[in-house]
């Protein structure tokens, strides 16, 4: 039997990595990911996790070591944040292009300059097109569950793609939450042995990440696109099996109190829980407003999103990142693109806020919802609203 225990989310993630019985962990510590990798180091040193722990000299090396490890068919984990993710940039595309099932937890944090160690989604957006599966989480339990699910998704023979499991820096990484750590035997049964189809092995030499001349590069990219797009089917299947085994259900797009609502708020990551409280309060005032939470960022869940937004008049999107000099919020921008072909389609109001660790409180969300409804009615000449900026 398992029971809920109070635990820092980063520690819980490290315990989930142990439950997944990984073979290789190559990591470089960076705030706010540090507690994850420190605790995994403890687990390895204490003999609780039988894994090769490679303390490398940079994030570029961390992911490079993971490439080699995953290429041999070893179950491989790493974690990073912000500048570390930036330094991995080159190897991120190699991991996904070579279809290596690496799992990485990203403790989402702002990108310098100015230097900020605090949370937002700027780092995520710089690796949006890196060809990884990307899953967002709202609390510690979801981090544990999706870290475990990520291995089953990544290593599935129909998928074979690396997975980023997003954990909002500080808002999740450094808070203590009640966590239900799944039973070891149950996780073992849930995670089949990693069986990479063409591993590096002396008895059967292969070349990975080879030269692709113009006559074949487009086909290679399309194969990657097909794999990532179709991975959604497996992701949903894995979440359904997880729900059956462990009793907690995840979906690409999740909703909260959307019944009868003509106005919806859309968020991604840990702020969604605050937004739920704001929706409760606004509903008490008699306004029928609901919340949509985007869990799956890549592959982008077009069908599920369109279905979830059917029949509404107004969609208010809060982004924790800024596409500087562009359309404002990256999530809002993609949601707009996904809905442009729909008829009728809702008015979309984009807010950017919660940057570099600034809180969006319940009251802030109430303001965002009400201001968003006003803008939807009156129109605005701005692509987006910068929430809370002192002008």
User: Quick one: which of 254, 44, 30 has its CA closest to 136?
Assistant: 254
Which is closer to other proteins, CB of 6 or CB of 209?
Answer: 209
Strand pairing partners for 80? 106
CB 99, min distance to other proteins, A? 4
Is residue 125 within 8 Å of 109, Cβ to Cβ?
Answer: no
Is residue 334 within 8 Å of 340, Cβ to Cβ?
Answer: no
Which is closer to other proteins, CB of 115 or CB of 216?
Answer: 216
Which is closer to other proteins, CB of 30 or CB of 160?
Answer: 160
CB 297, min distance to other proteins, A? 22
How far is the C-alpha of 33 from the C-alpha of 40, rounded, in Å? 12
CB 110, min distance to other proteins, A? 33
How far is the C-alpha of 75 from the C-alpha of 87, rounded, in Å? 23
How far is the C-alpha of 190 from the C-alpha of 241, rounded, in Å? 8
Q: How far apart are the first and last CA of the chain?
A: 55
Which is closer to other proteins, CB of 96 or CB of 364?
Answer: 96
How far is the C-alpha of 291 from the C-alpha of 87, rounded, in Å? 35
Which is closer to other proteins, CB of 50 or CB of 90?
Answer: 90
Which is closer to other proteins, CB of 100 or CB of 282?
Answer: 100
CB 90, min distance to other proteins, A? 17
- Over the Cα atoms of the chain, what is R_g? 21
CB 228, min distance to other proteins, A? 12
Helix, strand, or coil (residue 55) = strand
Q: Which residues bind other proteins (CB under 8 A)?
A: 97-100, 160, 197-198, 204-213, 215-216, 219-220, 222-223, 226
What count of other Cβ atoms lies within 10 Å of the Cβ of residue 90?
A: 10
CB 227, min distance to other proteins, A? 8
Q: If you ran DSSP here, which 8-state letter would residue 115 be given? A: P
CB 66, min distance to other proteins, A? 15
Residue with tokens 């490439």: 67
CB 199, min distance to other proteins, A? 10
Which is closer to other proteins, CB of 229 or CB of 377?
Answer: 229
Which is closer to other proteins, CB of 129 or CB of 363?
Answer: 129
Q: What's 135-201 look like in SS3?
A: EECCCHHHHHHHHHHHHHHHHCCCCCCCEEEEEECCCCCCCEEEEECCCHHHHHHHCCCCCCCCCCC
How far is the C-alpha of 162 from the C-alpha of 155, rounded, in Å? 8
């Amino acid at each position: 039997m398992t029971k809920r225990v109070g635990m820092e989310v980063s520690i819980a993630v490290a315990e989930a990595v142990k439950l997944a019985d990984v073979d290789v962990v190559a990591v470089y510590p960076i705030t706010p990911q540090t507690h994850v990798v420190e605790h995994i180091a403890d687990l390895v040193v204490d003999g609780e996790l039988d894994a090769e722990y490679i303390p490398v000299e940079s994030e570029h090396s961390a992911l490079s070591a993971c490439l080699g490890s995953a290429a041999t068919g070893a179950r491989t984990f790493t974690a990073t944040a912000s500048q570390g993710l930036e330094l991995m940039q080159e190897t991120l595309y190699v991991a996904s292009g070579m279809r290596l099932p690496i799992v990485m937890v990203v403790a989402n944090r702002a990108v310098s300059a100015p230097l900020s160690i605090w949370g937002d989604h700027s780092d995520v957006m710089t690796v949006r097109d890196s060809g990884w599966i990307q899953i967002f989480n709202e609390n510690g339990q979801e981090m544990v569950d999706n870290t475990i699910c990520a291995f089953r998704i990544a290593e599935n023979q129909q998928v074979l793609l690396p997975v980023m499991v997003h954990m909002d820096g500080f808002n999740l990484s450094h808070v203590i939450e009640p966590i239900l750590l799944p039973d070891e035997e149950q996780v073992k049964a849930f995670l089949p042995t990693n069986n990479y189809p063409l591993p590096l092995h002396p008895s059967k030499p292969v070349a990975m990440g080879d030269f692709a001349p113009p006559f074949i590069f487009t086909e290679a990219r399309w194969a990657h696109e097909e794999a990532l797009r179709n991975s959604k089917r497996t992701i949903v299947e894995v979440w359904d099996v997880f729900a059956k085994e462990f009793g907690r259900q995840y979906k690409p797009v999740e909703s909260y109190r959307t019944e009868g609502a003509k106005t919806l708020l859309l968020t991604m990551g840990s702020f969604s829980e605050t937004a739920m409280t704001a929706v409760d309060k606004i509903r008490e005032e008699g306004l029928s407003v609901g919340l949509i939470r985007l869990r799956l960022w890549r592959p982008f869940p077009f069908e599920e999103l369109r279905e979830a937004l059917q029949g509404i008049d107004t969609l208010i999107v809060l982004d924790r990142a800024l596409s500087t000099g562009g359309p404002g919020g990256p999530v809002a921008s993609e949601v707009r693109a996904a809905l442009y072909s729909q008829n009728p389609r809702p008015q979309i109001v984009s807010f950017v806020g919660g940057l570099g660790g600034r809180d969006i409180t319940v009251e802030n969300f109430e303001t965002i919802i009400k201001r968003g409804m006003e803008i939807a009615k009156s129109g605005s000449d701005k692509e987006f609203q910068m929430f809370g900026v002192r002008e």
